[in-house]
Amino acid sequence: MDDLFDVFEDKPGDYVSDEESAKPRPKKDKSKKRQANGDVKAKKQDLKPEDDDILPDAPAATNGVDHSVEENGRPEVKRQRIQDVPAAVVADSFETEQEREVAASAGLQATQDTGAVVLSHQVRHQVAIPPNYPYIPIAQHVPPEEPARVWPFTLDPFQQTAVHSIQREESVLVSAHTSAGKTVVAEYAIAQSLKKNQRVIYTSPIKALSNQKYREFAAEFGDVGLMTGDVTINPTATCLVMTTEILRSMLYRGSEIMRE
């Protein structure tokens, strides 16, 4: 019982208020950490110069550019030397113009045919070859005595130039407007390849056009196959007609046809 009333006998100075108890305590100096052996770690400021490994100054990276100082104090930046790479040489370039009269046709209209229509053709031919390639100008080309294919009409200037390039076994890129006669150039390339027992791939952007060309080439060349996303006909034929998606898939997969 006496212990319960001892609280009233304490002096007022011994009382600790809540505010004083809530004051933050001073933080411990965490920099004085001890090592595994019990010694206190030294601060970075306390390290002596001889304790650190003094490394020699590394040369500044220049990235292949010479930075020299001019008289005015500004650095003079010199361009990095670029190795000279041999570029393709345009060995042959010319333009040809030709006009031809064609009989006018009214077509489905009720008007009568009057006079003739003059068609003008302009051809720009350019040849790019690698350096030191023995190139002979297309103007000096001599056509073979027995061409791979002939037509009952006269070829346009761009068709004739493209056919001569194919006869010389050169790569040809023909750019012309719609219904200009680019298929004629492709037909000659197919005929020449079949004559030399080589396989040919004819591509078209859509399936409907592939089906149409398959029927035309099958009637003309005979051994023709068709490969689309829906139909596959005679895939071992010498001439294959396919869409560009099928050709791209074959190139990615490395099919046997591409290896041939």
pLDDT tens-digit readout, 171-221: 888 888 888 888 899 999 999 998 888 888 999 888 999 999 999 999 988
Domain presence at residue 190 = yes
pLDDT value for 67: 52
Give the chain's domain count: 2
- Looking at the chain, how many residues does it have? 260
State which residues form the domain around 230.
Answer: 199-260
| Distances, alpha carbon 33 to alpha carbons 43, 45, 47, 145, in Å | 10, 15, 15, 99
Domain presence at residue 132 = no
Domain presence at residue 243 = yes
Strand ranges for 70-173 from DSSP E = 75-77, 89-103, 116-129
Distance between start and end Cα atoms, the chain: 112
205 and 191 belong to one structural domain: no
The answer to whether residues 222 and 206 touch, using CB atoms and an 8 Å cutoff, is: no
What predicted TM-score, i.e. pTM, was given to this entire model? 0.57
235 and 251 belong to one structural domain: yes
Give the pair of three-digit tokens for residue 126: 């350019």
Give the Cα-Cα-Cα angle 146, 149, 151 (nearest 5 degrees): 115
Angstrom distance (rounded) from CA 167 to CA 173: 14
pLDDT value for 190: 92
203 and 258 belong to one structural domain: yes
| Distances, alpha carbon 254 to alpha carbons 100, 163, 247, 249, in Å | 47, 30, 10, 8
pLDDT value for 80: 63
Domain presence at residue 152 = no
Smallest Cα–Cα separation from 101: which of 88, 86, 83, 120? 120
204 and 194 belong to one structural domain: no
**Stretch among 66-75, 103-112, 122-131, 148-157 having the lowest mean pLDDT:** 66-75
205 and 163 belong to one structural domain: no
- In terms of Cβ atoms closer than 10 Å to its own Cβ (0-12, 13-18, 19+), residue 221 is middle
Domain presence at residue 68 = no
Our CA dihedral for 48, 45, 54, 66, rounded to 10 degrees, sits at: -150
For residue 129, name the pLDDT band (cuts at 50, 70, 90).
confident
Domain presence at residue 7 = no
* Average pLDDT score, the chain: 74
Q: How many CA atoms lie within 13 A of 37 on its CB side?
A: 2
pLDDT tens-digit readout, 43-102: 555 555 554 455 555 555 555 545 555 555 666 666 666 666 556 566 666 666 666 666
Domain presence at residue 147 = no
Domain presence at residue 192 = yes
Beta pairing partners, 239: 200, 224
239 and 256 belong to one structural domain: yes
pLDDT tens-digit readout, 156-175: 888 888 999 999 888 888 88
pLDDT value for 13: 52
